[in-house]
Structure 1
Amino acid sequence: MGGGPEDGSVIPTFARHIASRLWEGPLEGENSVARGCIRCQSRGLLCAELQTLSEGMPEGVKTLIADTGLSPLPWVTTGHFDLPLISAFVERWQPDTKTFHLPFGEMTIMLHDVFMIVGIPIEGRPVSTVLDSDSIDSSLASLLQDEIVNIRVKPPGIMECGGVRWKTVMERCGGTRSPEIQARGWLLLALGSCLFVDKTSNRVTPHPLVELDDLSTVRGHSWGSACLAYLFRQLGVATRADSASIGGCLTLLQAWIYEYFPCFPPHATVKETTAGRPRALRWEFVACPANPDRLASYRYTLDYMSVVEVSWTPYGRSIAIQHPRTLYMGHLRCRGIGEIYAPNRVTRQLGYVQEIPTTLGSPGVAYRPRSSHRYEINFCNMGFMDVDWSRGGYPRLDLTRLTCLRQSGPTVAIGYLELYLKITHSKILRNPPQGQHDNYPPGLTLIMYACFY
């Protein structure tokens, strides 16, 4: 397949990928207009409301929220996204491997990235409880002081399309309620507007209510792994040719791009932050024009990017020692969502030479058609994910078998690139813009001395 893999065994669904449509053109019956910038779902207004609400809360409520470890979320989350930049990286995402496929190999968002950028725990119990509609209605009725029969009645339409109206939660969990109810309402909105953003504009998911039932246990959940699993699934859906928008924690995605690719951050946006604070606060996210020229420029930059233009270890070489959970190999869980997590495919992000990786496994049922509305992945062994994650001897990447990256040495093992180029698509653009050739894009800053530090 032109532009696609010579060997289709690793990413067998490439024919239905947006990258295939951009290279080959639309199939018969498809829209002839190529997809431009994807719409990024934002809850910036709600996050600003939560910040204001927090300032006027009683100290007892603030303490309850702070003890959960989730209080910084509305301040970390941005409402401004670079749509062309995110769109260009979505086109590089392969849901079969859960990695971005770039000309020099694979990269992905890892568990330590979630902790460093967003500042939420990656250790703890998986967020794996799947609620039925009756349980959701009961929890909402308790939180909002309403009758169960009114939860899905229109009007008032508290629940619609699987989400609860955030203005209703804010109104009914105000200062006249108990400190616990105020804290639960605020945390529900924070999780829904920061970590688990769906594709609606005025609603948030009610599912976190089950973990918020006992505030003393909230910190004990691995919100970071759930956030990453949810974002992986959103990225997978967004790679379908007809997908027009993407949800999930896009602050994490955009800040991750800035951390690893020094050529992409907007000029003079890095801010000084104190040690231990989420690194998303380092970046002053600004509104960027979503025009086709910027998207084409980003596509070209990624098509011809070199390995020396990546800052492989932006947090230092000892990140796996500081956060050993990032070496976990298996599946990440967010309720009914299960996504493969394979650090063996991206060892350069841990400071080690990339060996030829082995495939961890495939889902029991995977259906990734061109239509994003019919995208479905199910794992037959979902019940075993919690066991693997929670046990002390969980499966992990063995770093002792790997070679440390050297500033002047190779970043991949012999034979890696030869095999990689057979199982991937190395470029998105079939015909580069006129005047540009197979070299580094004009004006691109090469950070030669900071590749590994």
Structure 2
Amino acid sequence: MDTRDRTPGPTDPFVLTLQDTHRSVDIWSQSVDPAVILTCRHYTVAFLGDWVIDPRILPFVEYAGFMGIHRMAFREVDPALVTALVERWRQETHSFHLPVGEATVTLRDVAILTRIPIHGSPVSGSALVDPPGYVAQVLRVQPSPDDIRGGELRTGWIRDTFRVLPDGADEATVARHARAYLFLLISGVLFGGKSGSHLQIIYLQLLDHDWEHIRGYSWGSACLAMLYRHLCRASRRGSREISGSVIFASGRPGRPAIHRQGQQDQDQQYKRYIPPPRPSADEAYGCKWAVPKLTYAHAARGLPYYQDALDRLTEDQMTWDPYEADLVAAMPPHLLDHQAQWRSRVPLICFEVVEGHLSDRVMRQFGLRQTVPQQCDTSARLHRIDRRRKSDRNWRTEHAQYIDVWHRRLEFVVTGDPIHGVMDPYDPYMEWYMQITRRFINPSYTPPSAHYHPSFDVIRGYALDMTGMVDALSDVLPGIPETPRAQVERVRDMGMATLQRYGHAYLVHPRDDHGGHSSHSQFEAGQSSCGGDPASSTGAEEYDVRSSAPLRHPDDPSPSQLTPPVRPNPFTMVRHYSRRQRPRVHIQDTEPLHQIDESE
């Protein structure tokens, strides 16, 4: 792919019909701050607090198939990487659109990473008429009215009530505590919403059975359905957060091993990076990264870095099957016996949520040659369905047609020829794909520095100084005589074009408040820094800088100096530039993060 052609696409809108509502539109037009990162609602630590899971509970957790989730729940999430992936997620195809083709999280990924059951009954049921009574029925403890909010149960009540398992507890008591813990994992981690304070009681009905029945649900397909739904919501314009099981969308901890052609990474800290240990044969593959902290050894992290790395991704950098064969072969028989289902093209169901598992679009992830996939419809109508004001719904009846397809999933297994080597860029699939995909996210061709954090602070300082200059020139233009006015406008236009070129045009917006003295000129992203044609009869539009820079102290250096004042790290403290924003608490490290040995 010739990356010098910066046409973002798609040239054929037949597939990506929702492009106008996708968040990539605002990023390309530079109408939003490119450094703003999605808030990842991942509340595991807040849920569990000081809850030490009693070893007597773990056999129940393991039998139900949740031991991998139990160990992975504490894994940290990289919000910048999640945001970069969300920018490439498409609701129309339920896949990430990368320069080398489509990729997604599949049933195979979920099964290998977590060893959670895939084969089984769909996760569905009815709305609850009496939520508090159902809690008492399943957990044998009646919550107080203050602990109930509609169909939700306060998370703190679960933790406080079941945190300590009494000594000498009988099997029934241990089983109740195990159900309470599984309820927290299911409602809080796998199917979690935006609230960290309450859990959805509707999921508790899935645990009101014997343990063989609980193990018989297809928890993995339900988990994937919820992940798809939250990715679809987060990919829309204006979305600020994502919830659900984002641990599956965050990739491996640390920096992706992507190097631009001809460029060698000189970061000594990264060379000393210690990879996580190889999981044992009796552990889920995802436990390989179940470490207490992410490794921040390498400085090249952050949303702009990930955007650039994904924009420049090549076929030889893509690992379609990242799993070691011997570890996959060591999986339990009840998972390996149903491997064919991992390739099924079927609906994924979790109560009101129905999302398509379109395995024919990512055949290379199954070791098969990719062909042009069949037409798909992920249904905007299904994406609009939620449980609000539907307390009388039986979701098994509501989605009976999709449940029937799930039960017949072996009839919809995708097959193909084995893949050999890498795909030719002129393969019929790639020629088709390049016409229907969104090729680029970042409008700037200039790559970020390999040591991104320090240089970003400096570049952002330059950008703030440049916007100050543009604003100052816009303020004085009305009082300048006509003769020198064109030259001043040209200098202002050069500053504006430079800001657009390097992705900082969001700092300024057009204004027209000088009583007819303003005229208009066009600025194109990627335009030369010399500005527009000075001989053109078209004038320039007035611009005003949004007050987005931090307030300066009287002793701070002047904004005209080359070295900007020290500013908060944009990747550990997110600054929002919207007019409406909710109060947020930003946590910033007070000292540099050190490398950790993930093998411990």
TM-score by length of 1: 0.79
State the alpha-carbon separation in 1 of the partners of residues 292 and 368 from structure 2. Answer: 31
State the alpha-carbon separation in 2 of the partners of residues 413 and 330 from structure 1. Answer: 30
Match of 1:94 in 2: 90
Further displaced range: 41-50 or 227-236: 41-50
Do the aligned residues in 2 keep the contact of 1:189 with 1:204 (CA within 8 Å)? yes
Deviations 1:322-360 (A, max 9, x none): 711111112111111000111110011111221111123
Do the aligned residues in 1 keep the contact of 2:367 with 2:418 (CA within 8 Å)? yes
Pick closer, same or farther for the CA change 1:262–1:279 going to 2, 3 Å: farther
1:38 matches 2:44: no
State, as a whole percentage, how many aligned pairs show the same letter. Answer: 23
Match of 2:373 in 1: 357
Pick closer, same or farther for the CA change 1:52–1:404 going to 2, 3 Å: same
State the alpha-carbon separation in 1 of the partners of residues 230 and 448 from structure 2. Answer: 35
Pick closer, same or farther for the CA change 1:274–1:435 going to 2, 3 Å: closer
Which residues of 2 match residues 69-108 of structure 1 at below 5 A?
A: 69-108=65-104
Deviation at 1:314, TM superposition (A): 1.7
Pick closer, same or farther for the CA change 1:239–1:22 going to 2, 3 Å: same
Pick closer, same or farther for the CA change 1:184–1:322 going to 2, 3 Å: closer
Deviation at 1:85, TM superposition (A): 1.0
Match of 2:12 in 1: 7
Deviations 1:200-228 (A, max 9, x none): 12222222211100132110001000000
Match of 1:306 in 2: 314
Deviations 1:278-299 (A, max 9, x none): 112112363477x997211110
Match of 1:348 in 2: 364
Deviations 1:119-177 (A, max 9, x none): 21111111022x32415343124346566xx76x4xx14226x5321110123345468
1:193 matches 2:188: yes
Do the aligned residues in 1 keep the contact of 2:355 with 2:378 (CA within 8 Å)? no
- What is the root-mean-square deviation in Å for CA atoms of aligned residues? 3.4
Match of 1:405 in 2: 419
**Partner of residue 442 from structure 2, selected from 429, 434, 439:** 429
Code of the aligned partner of 2:161: R
Match of 2:515 in 1: none
Match of 2:283 in 1: 277
State the alpha-carbon separation in 1 of the partners of residues 177 and 293 from structure 2. Answer: 32
Code of the aligned partner of 1:158: I
Pick closer, same or farther for the CA change 1:79–1:66 going to 2, 3 Å: closer
Match of 2:432 in 1: 419
Match of 2:483 in 1: none
Do the aligned residues in 2 keep the contact of 1:348 with 1:411 (CA within 8 Å)? no
Do the aligned residues in 2 keep the contact of 1:105 with 1:417 (CA within 8 Å)? yes
State the alpha-carbon separation in 1 of the partners of residues 52 and 23 from structure 2. Answer: 40
Code of the aligned partner of 2:178: A
**Partner of residue 158 from structure 1, selected from 128, 148, 155:** 148
1:394 matches 2:384: no
**Partner of residue 221 from structure 2, selected from 219, 225, 229:** 225
Code of the aligned partner of 1:420: Y
Do the aligned residues in 1 keep the contact of 2:68 with 2:286 (CA within 8 Å)? no
Do the aligned residues in 1 keep the contact of 2:47 with 2:155 (CA within 8 Å)? no
Do the aligned residues in 2 keep the contact of 1:261 with 1:310 (CA within 8 Å)? no
Match of 2:156 in 1: 167
1:18 matches 2:54: no
* Structure whose alpha-carbon radius of gyration is higher: 2
Deviation at 1:406, TM superposition (A): 1.6
Code of the aligned partner of 1:38: L
1:242 matches 2:238: yes
Structure 1 unpaired stretches of 5+: 27-31, 437-453
Structure 2 unpaired stretches of 5+: 1-5, 167-171, 260-269, 330-335, 389-394, 450-600
Deviation at 1:118, TM superposition (A): 1.6
Deviation at 1:38, TM superposition (A): 0.7
Pick closer, same or farther for the CA change 1:328–1:48 going to 2, 3 Å: same
State the alpha-carbon separation in 1 of the partners of residues 287 and 196 from structure 2. Answer: 24
Code of the aligned partner of 1:53: I
State the alpha-carbon separation in 2 of the partners of residues 163 and 246 from structure 1. Answer: 20
State the alpha-carbon separation in 1 of the partners of residues 194 and 11 from structure 2. Answer: 35
Do the aligned residues in 1 keep the contact of 2:230 with 2:243 (CA within 8 Å)? yes
Deviation at 1:386, TM superposition (A): 1.3
Do the aligned residues in 2 keep the contact of 1:262 with 1:310 (CA within 8 Å)? no
State the alpha-carbon separation in 2 of the partners of residues 329 and 135 from structure 1. Answer: 37
Q: Secondary structure at the match of 1:422?
A: helix
Deviation at 1:383, TM superposition (A): 1.6
**Partner of residue 337 from structure 1, selected from 353, 364, 374:** 353
Code of the aligned partner of 2:281: A
Q: Secondary structure at the match of 1:254?
A: coil
Q: Secondary structure at the match of 2:293?
A: coil
Pick closer, same or farther for the CA change 1:232–1:82 going to 2, 3 Å: same
Deviation at 1:66, TM superposition (A): 3.2
Pick closer, same or farther for the CA change 1:63–1:134 going to 2, 3 Å: same
Deviation at 1:251, TM superposition (A): 1.7
1:315 matches 2:323: yes
Do the aligned residues in 2 keep the contact of 1:196 with 1:248 (CA within 8 Å)? yes
Count of equivalent residues: 405
State the alpha-carbon separation in 2 of the partners of residues 366 and 392 from structure 1. Answer: 20
State the alpha-carbon separation in 2 of the partners of residues 65 and 321 from structure 1. Answer: 21
